[in-house]
Amino acid sequence: MHTDSLPKLLLTLKHRASALGPGLLMATAAIGGSHLVASTQAGALFGWQLLGLILLVNVLKYPFFRFGVQYTLEQGESLLQGYQRKGRGYFYSFIVLNLIAAVVNTAGVLLLTASLLHYALPWPISVTLLCWLILAVCLLILLLGHYRALDKVAKIIMVLLTLTTLSAAVIAAMNGAMAPADYQGPSPWQLAMLGFLVALMGWMPAPIEISAISSLWLTAKQRQQPISRQQGLFDFNLGYWLTAGLALVFVSLGALVQYGSDQPIALAGAAFAQQLIGMYGSTIGDWSRPLVAAIAFLCMFGTTITVLDGYARSLNESFTLLGVHQRGQRRSYQGWLLAQALAGMAVILFFRSALGPMLTFAMTLAFLTTPVFAWLNYRLMRRHSTQPLSTLLVWWSRLGLLYLVGFALLFLLWYSKLLQ
């Protein structure tokens, strides 16, 4: 290596690192329910059988999340503006999906975060009070610190989360799998499991609306500093593939520690996460409980704060494009943020018993709408990209669309037979 190569390499890395943010925010938002609960449940219920499916879903959805970032980098506008240009039907459909997801997802991730904290704390505090406290902390960070504070918090959470999750997986692997060598678990490859698979894939790595939210985070980052196409895609790729890799790690946590256990696997999110912490303590040692509890809480706190900010930004942008309020008004974002937070708390206070079915509905809806918005993202890039899409990316997108449409049709056929 030439003597001047190392400084150039360091300068390039520093240049790319300065643009990090939106991709890591996407990863922080994604790792909550889809990873801590769905991925780990997949391992706990079926061992390693769904590892390939989870990897495949992440790979096949990649182009459509990438296009959200790439569109903003090349066109200088948010993906929502692209939806509006494409047609009112697409734009209004996204707004309806976004409104449902904002309220239900806020309630779900906030309640799960509070339940985990309640389980980990040595003194009794009601889950409802913890919901209010966590919500207050998130709102304080977002209202006073704006995007810059969110950016810093997400980076800290992702570093800690990655290190602790990998440590827990290594410890579990060193202790060996709980399941006996001759254990024969249930198979996920049967029609009865299709509902579980669809919910798993709907939020893997994240709901499709996160592609539009990522473009808004990128726009916020660009107001702080100029972001080149190379920098923006580097940030996105780092966040996306880190998310995909951690999904596989969470599958391994469930497969190693819970698969083959005599204890029935809890399906409710909070109960399952608490059971995972307890299983670590009983199989590896009580010293591991704080480590796994920290992983679970970091997952959900990061998801909570990014869900609050991301959906508030997308709702604010949507109604700005509708002409309800003017662009650049900080108060309109604050209003949507507070409205979303209060609506989520209202669901927790008055509809907690129905929150599980609501989340399943949201995850299923996310899966069924993914082919539509995936196709829309693809069409926007084919028509408006400043550089022709590579042949690889075009065929990658077509294969992904074929997979998503096929699975959605299979699910609708299966569900229609259930209703008969």
Domains located in the chain, CATH noted: 22-419 (1.20.1740.10)
**pLDDT score of 8:** 54
Question: Token pair of 8, please?
Answer: 């150039």
205-237 tens-digit pLDDT: 888 888 999 999 999 888 888 888 888 899 999
Asked if pLDDT for residue 259 goes beyond 60, the answer is yes
Other beta carbons less than 10 A from residue 229's beta carbon:
13
- CA distance to 200, 274, 356, per residue, from 268 (Å): 14, 10, 7
Looking at per-residue confidence, does 54 or 359 come out higher? 54
- Burial annotation 303-336 (CB, 10 A radius, 16+ → b, else e): bbbbbbbbbbbbbbbbebbeeeeeeeeeebbebb
Mean pLDDT, the chain, rounded, equals 84
Segment among 25-29, 38-42, 49-53, 144-148 with least mean pLDDT: 144-148
112-171 tens-digit pLDDT: 888 888 888 878 889 899 999 999 999 999 998 777 888 888 888 888 888 888 888 888
Percent of the chain with pLDDT over 70: 93
**pLDDT score of 10:** 47
- CA distance to 22, 79, 192, 196, 311, per residue, from 232 (Å): 8, 15, 42, 34, 21
Residue range 360-378: mean pLDDT, rounded:
83
How many Å is the maximal CA-CA distance in the chain? 73
d(CA 404, CA 53): 13
Contact between 24 and 239 (Cβ < 8 Å): yes
Asked if pLDDT for residue 56 goes beyond 50, the answer is yes
**pLDDT score of 267:** 65
Q: If residue 20 lies in a helix (H) or strand (E), which one and from where to where?
A: none
